Structure 1
Amino acid sequence: MVTAADPGATRTSVWLVARPAPSGRRRVEAPSGLDRDRITTATVRLLDADGLTRFAMWRLAGLGVTAMALYWYVDTKHELLELALDRALGESALPAGQPASGVAGWPGGLKELARGYRQVLVDHPWVAPLSAAYPNIGPHARAFDAALQQLMDATGLVGAARTGAHLAVRQFLHGCGGGVRRAPEGDFCMALDVLIAGIEAKAANS
């Protein structure tokens, strides 16, 4: 069983570990037809089918990946879960282009970002607990953070007001979007409108 944080284990993020290029012998001996991308895809499918609590590396054998073959590409199950987490986050729709400043631009972008993130949590219920357990510094997570930062910049808020708005959005996404008792879509959208109205009011009075 995989828990949010295994006690007694000190882990380093898969995104911070430099994996040496395989030697000629390892390239020859490595299982054919496999790579990190295919293994990550299989892991996402398994998590979707069985859930996080039943996840075990040996279960990937049912998807055509043997446990022993995995260790050519990842060292631990935690590396595999981090890869799967970032792969799922890559499905989140990000606003296209630089958000326009003022009320005419960023609210629509924030709605798009928030609804896209919620959809990822709906499609992959295991993403929410993994997001709380791992540092979320993969390429897709960083792209999401960059998009949110751009939207916050476009509000015109600065200092403590901007920090507060950013925190409110983050807490909203993880609370209403990914909580154990996830808010229905209609309630989520209504709450999102209220949140955006509050940010707009704060920006107008700044």
Structure 2
Amino acid sequence: MVTEADPGEARASVWLAAGRVTPARRRGEAPSALDRDRITAATVRLLDAQGLARFSMRRLAAELGVTAMSLYWYVDTKHDLLELALDSALGGQSPPAGPPPGEPWPVGLRALARDYRRLLVEHPWVAPLSMAYPNIGPHARAFDAALHRLLDAADLVDPGRTGAHLAVSRFLKGCGADVRRAPEAEFDLAVDVLIAGIEAQAARHARG
């Protein structure tokens, strides 16, 4: 099924494409009032205000006061721009480097999860985009690295470590619209269930 965010066909991620930086041949001719960062920031604002279903390059151009065609000096497709906006929103988080000094790893994991919940509440369009596109931008990789560091502190080994990482990341990305409807206490309980499972896995490993 093709979703609002799904390109519906095979495409390279903007983070892997050679043209993710505006080529020199474009920079010399591109509208001087624009740059990719400004366009991405405007995309985030428009998605927050109007939602993913109403987003279009024409609406974005109107927001910026330019023609729709001028945007294509900086991005090849709308999907590239949505990927850039997704990673920009993820950059609004402050992933902990690891458990706070003197605190066990579950404290850090709860903080990471709550921060991600806040992101989903503030930017409802992040959830469907996270499911439609690969999360391989710099901010997405920083978040993933923070999760890996927390699980390192849990003393897990594969396959338990891989399973724990998958369970936490799938839970957070899969919350979607539910996170806006469910009370925060229910979200915290779900995170506690995940933590209990990780702790049980680590205990089995410790017993050999």
Q: Structure 1 length normalisation: TM-score?
A: 0.87
SS at match of 1:16: coil
2:178 corresponds in structure 1 to 181
SS at match of 2:24: coil
Structure-2 separation of matches of 1:79 and 1:140: 16
Structure-1 separation of matches of 2:106 and 2:5: 33
Gaps of 5+ in 2: none
Matched, 1:76 2:73: no
Q: 79-88 or 145-154, which moves further after superposition?
A: 145-154
RMSD: 2.2
Matched, 1:148 2:147: yes
Deviations 1:73-97 (A, max 9, x none): 001000000000000111122003x
Deviations 1:142-181 (A, max 9, x none): 1111111111111001122222222221232133x32x33
Matched, 1:47 2:47: yes
Structure-2 separation of matches of 1:78 and 1:21: 18
Shift of 1:100: 7.2
Deviations 1:19-65 (A, max 9, x none): 26313xx4443112211000000000111111111111000133224
Cα 1:27–1:161 change in 2 (3 A) is: closer
2:29 corresponds in structure 1 to 29
Q: How does 1:120-159 map to 2 (within 5 A)?
A: 120-159=119-158
2:5 corresponds in structure 1 to 4
Gaps of 5+ in 1: none
Q: 27-36 or 126-135, which moves further after superposition?
A: 27-36
1:60 corresponds in structure 2 to 60
| Matched-pair identity in % | 66
8 Å Cα contact 1:155-1:200 kept in structure 2: yes
Shift of 1:196: 1.3
8 Å Cα contact 2:90-2:139 kept in structure 1: yes
SS at match of 2:18: coil
Q: What count of residue pairs does the alignment treat as equivalent?
A: 199
Which stretches of structure 1, 4 residues or more, deviate above 4 A after TM superposition?
Answer: none
Q: 149-158 or 162-171, which moves further after superposition?
A: 162-171
Structure-2 separation of matches of 1:119 and 1:79: 25
2:18 corresponds in structure 1 to 18
Structure-2 separation of matches of 1:107 and 1:94: 14
The amino acid of 1:66's aligned partner reads T
Structure-1 separation of matches of 2:88 and 2:149: 22
